[in-house]
Amino acid sequence: MTPDAQAATGTPAHTARIGRWIVAGVPSGWAWIPDFGIQRQEPGSAPSNVCLKEDELLAGNQLKLYIQAQVTLMKRTFEEPLIAGPAPLEFPDATEAAMLMLKHRPLNGTTVFQVQHYVRSGKWIGIATLTTVEPELMQVRPAFEAFMKMVRIEPQA
C-alpha cells in the first residue's frame, strides 16, 4: 500500500482490494491489514481501525431499510448505545450512501465510538467502519476521511 502522499499524485504504485472495495492508499501513521482494512500504528495511540466489509440487499433496493436492520442489531448488541443518523453521504459511483455514528461502552467501561459509512451500488452494500475510543476520535477522524477519499468501489459487472 502507498502512503497518502503518494496516493495523492493520482498514480499510486498499486492498489489493494477487499471484495469490490478498491484501496489506493493508506494515511500516514496507519497500516494496511489484508482482508480487513487499516489500523493506526502510531506509538502510544489507541488501537483505532477502519474495517471494510460487504453485504448484499436481500429484499428491496433501499439502503434505508438495511441501515434500520443494522440499528436494531446494535440496540440488541450494546447496552444503552447512542446512535446518530443515518445522514446522507456522497460517495463516488454509489447509488446512495449514508453515515451512522454509534457510541457505546463495552465491558471494560471505555467509551467506544464508531463511524460507519454505508455505500450501495445495486444490491451490493459496502460498509466502512471507523472504530476508536472516544478521546481519540478528533485525532483519527481526519485520517478516516482521507482514507475514504482513497477508496472506490468496483463498478458492477
The model's pLDDT over 5-51, given as tens digits with 9 standing for 90+, comes to: 333 333 344 679 999 999 999 999 999 999 999 999 888 777 899 99
What's the CATH fold of domain 4-153? Protein Transport Mog1p; Chain A (3.40.1000)
Long-range contacts of 43-47 (CB under 8 A, 24+ apart): 45/136, 45/139, 46/132, 46/133, 46/135, 46/136, 46/140
The pTM score is: 0.85
Phi, psi for 109 (deg, rounded to 5): 90, -10
